[in-house]
Amino acid sequence: MADHVTPSKRSEIMKAVGTKDTGAEMAVRRLLHAKGYRYRLHRRDLPGSPDIVFPRLRKVLFIHGCFWHGHNCNKGRLPKSKLDYWRRKLEANKDRDLRSIAALSELGWSVAVVWQCALHDIAALTVKLDNFLLTNSVCA
């Protein structure tokens, strides 16, 4: 199936995709705040600049968009065009994510990843986040 917009318009659309304050991130932040959790955002002094940081607990959350971080779900499918480019791009993103998680773990931080698709079941996500934040368990 051909793209329904011009290549220059597609480029403009893709450049506008932000890395902070995404819809998924804002939904998780609202959920956490409503449950009484307080946190810091985008700590640039930590590897990978985690989206949400709980300094006292030494725990961090990354909120990953399924497409951009190569999740194995419906939203994480590769596009139908420019497969070589997208495979390289998304694999590089996954490698960077793994390096950031490993570096944080080495520094004594617990890390959890919340995938965009997890927002379809808020009740299950809430339980996972509570388990991660209230115990010593790891959630992914």
Q: Where are the domains of the chain?
A: 25-134
**Model pLDDT for residues 70-123, shown as the tens digit of each residue:** 999 988 888 888 889 989 999 999 999 999 999 999 999 999 999 999 999 999
Residue with tokens 């190569």: 70
* Closest C-alpha to 60, from 134, 97, 113, 116: 113
**Terminal CA-CA length for the chain:** 34
Q: Which CATH architecture has domain 25-134?
A: 3-Layer(aba) Sandwich (3.40)
Residue 140 has pLDDT above 60, yes or no: no
Q: How many CB atoms lie within 10 A of CB 112?
A: 21
Q: What is the pLDDT of residue 14?
A: 60
Using alpha carbons only, give the angle 21, 27, 32 rounded to the nearest 5 degrees: 105
* Closest C-alpha to 19, from 45, 55, 44: 44
Q: What is the pLDDT of residue 19?
A: 64
**Model pLDDT for residues 6-50, shown as the tens digit of each residue:** 777 756 666 556 566 688 999 999 999 999 999 999 999 999 999
